[in-house]
Structures are given as structure tokens and as C-alpha cells.
Amino acid sequence: MAYFAHGSIEVVCGPMFSGKTEELIRRVRRAQIARQKIQIFKPAIDTRYDETAVVSHSSQSVLSEPVEKAIDILARLKDSTRVVAIDEVQFFDNNIVQVVDKLARRGLRVLCAGLDLDYKAIPFGPMPQLLAIADEVIKINAICTICGAPATRSQRISHNKDQVLLGEKDSYQARCRGHYEYELEDSAQLPLTSEIRPILEN
Ligand code: ADP
Ligand code: MG
């Protein structure tokens, strides 16, 4: 990526299993090789593999600091830190947008990885704002478990309806657009008005 001398926001997004965490770890390792002081954060609710490490589905890992709230990142920031990496950024509260922006304004390089869409294929939490204010966005695909095509959606295969359901291959599959199964109500980002409902239902 281009070098931003005055701070930057890079967002890696895509569905589950697309390699977001691998890409974040790759960027973290390169910053470490460059001897830049880096801090890595993740939301405390993500304890799937490890309490403190960021771990990819291919078992790569880096140590991280779990935090409850977005503003905790500012509280834990060390003066010498030049690069901040945040995994599973979609799980943070909306303050993450201001926190990330403030870090970049201070001249830090901010790396974020997160799901662009939830299991209903609706933009996830703060991701639309983060993607809009980013200097660099990369959207990566997984492989559709049904047909092998590039997958952009995360299909929930359990019946739980909560937006946040921590899980792995037992609960989710990567799917392409053709094999992602959605319900009309679920796919609506805004309430369906009487004007658009008959058109969509057609
Ligand atoms: P993410 O953080 O986007 O969920 P990870 O970086 O943790 O993804 O893991 C990506 C790795 O997951 C791939 O390199 C591959 O080894 C593995 N993997 C498992 N299932 C799939 C799939 N359906 N499509 C692509 N990669 C998969
Ligand atoms: Mg990940």
C-alpha cells in the first residue's frame, strides 16, 4: 500500500473464512520487521480460540490486548505506538469510528479487519462508517462451500437469530451470492415500505 506520512486507516473486510485475520497478521508482521511499535487489539467478546491472541482459521496468531469498549483502546495506547491493529472490528460499539479517526489524526497507522456483512447480509455495526473514512479498503473473498466460487457472504447454518453468535464451521459457511440463502425481511436494511414491498416480493 501507499505510505501515508500523516497517519492512515486501512480496512480489510469480507465474509468469514476470507483471510481477514491472515491479512491483518501479515501487515502486523511487516510492521514488526520495520521495527515500528505496534499494539494489537480485539474485542473481549471474541474468545473463540484464545483469550488474548488474535488467531486465524489457519492457526496463525499474534498476541493482542482484549478490550471491552472502543474507548479502552485510547486508554491503553502507549506514547511510543506507531501502528494500531484491530481484529473483529465489527463487534465494537460505534465509538470505534471516532477512536480510529482520532488515532489516524494523531499520525498513527490504523489497521482494521472485520466482517462487512452480518449473517443476514446486512452491513455490520460500525463497518459502513469505517469503510467510508478509510484511506485504503480491501474486500476479500472466501471460497463458497457449495460450489467453490468466490464467496462474499457468511451463511449461518444454526438457527440462532442473534446478530452476534460466536462460532466456527459448525455455525457458519462461506457462500457465493448464488448459494447464499436469505429471507426477504432479513435482507431489508430499512423497513420495507408499501411502495417497495410488492416490487421486491415479485
Ligand atoms: P477470517 O479472519 O476472514 O475469518 P482467517 O484469516 O481466520 O479468515 O482464515 C482464512 C483461512 O481459512 C484460509 O486461508 C483457509 O486456510 C481457511 N478456510 C477455511 N474455510 C475456508 C473457505 N470456505 N474459504 C476460504 N478459506 C477457508
Ligand atoms: Mg478473523
Q: Which residue has the higher pLDDT, 9 or 53?
A: 9
Query: Probe ligand 1: pick from 12, 13, 17, 89, max atoms within 8 Å of CB?
Result: 17
How large is the average pLDDT for residues 182-200?
73
Least confident of 3-7, 51-55, 115-119, 182-186: 182-186
Return the active site residues.
88
Average pLDDT, the chain: 91
Q: Which atom of ligand 1 is nearest to the CA of 140?
A: 3
56 C-beta closer than 6 A to ligand 1: yes
pLDDT at 164: 80
pLDDT of 184 > 70? The answer is no
pLDDT of 189 > 70? The answer is no
pLDDT at 163: 77
Q: What is the pTM of this model?
A: 0.92
- Percentage of the chain surpassing pLDDT 90? 73
pLDDT band at 45 (very low <50, low <70, confident <90, very high): confident
pLDDT of 193 > 60? The answer is yes
How large is the average pLDDT for residues 39-48?
88
Ligand 1 centre distance from Cα of residue 56 (Å): 7
- Which ligand does the CA of 155 lie closest to? 1
Minimum CA distance residue for ligand 1 atom 25: 142
pLDDT band at 26 (very low <50, low <70, confident <90, very high): very high
Q: How many CB atoms lie within 10 A of CB 151?
A: 26
- Which ligand does the CA of 42 lie closest to? 2
pLDDT of 1 > 60? The answer is no
Structural domains of the chain sorted by starting position, each given as residue range(s) with its CATH number in brackets:
8-201 (3.40.50.300)
Interatomic CA distance for residues 75 and 67, integer angstroms = 10
> φ, ψ for residue 160 (rounded to 5)?
-65, 140
pLDDT band at 186 (very low <50, low <70, confident <90, very high): low
Reduced 3-state DSSP string for the chain: CCCCCCCEEEEEEECCCCCHHHHHHHHHHHHHHCCCCEEEEEECCCCCCCCCEEECCCCCEEECEEECCHHHHHHHCCCCCCEEEECCHHHCCCHHHHHHHHHHHCCCEEEEEEECECCCCCECCCHHHHHHHCCEEEECCEECCCCCCEECEEEECCCCCCCCCCCCCCCEEEECCCCCCCCHHHHCCCCCCCCCHHHHHC
For residue 123, give the nearest of 151, 146, 156, 154 by alpha carbon: 154
pLDDT at 136: 98
155 C-beta closer than 6 A to ligand 1: no
pLDDT of 3 > 80? The answer is no
pLDDT of 191 > 80? The answer is no
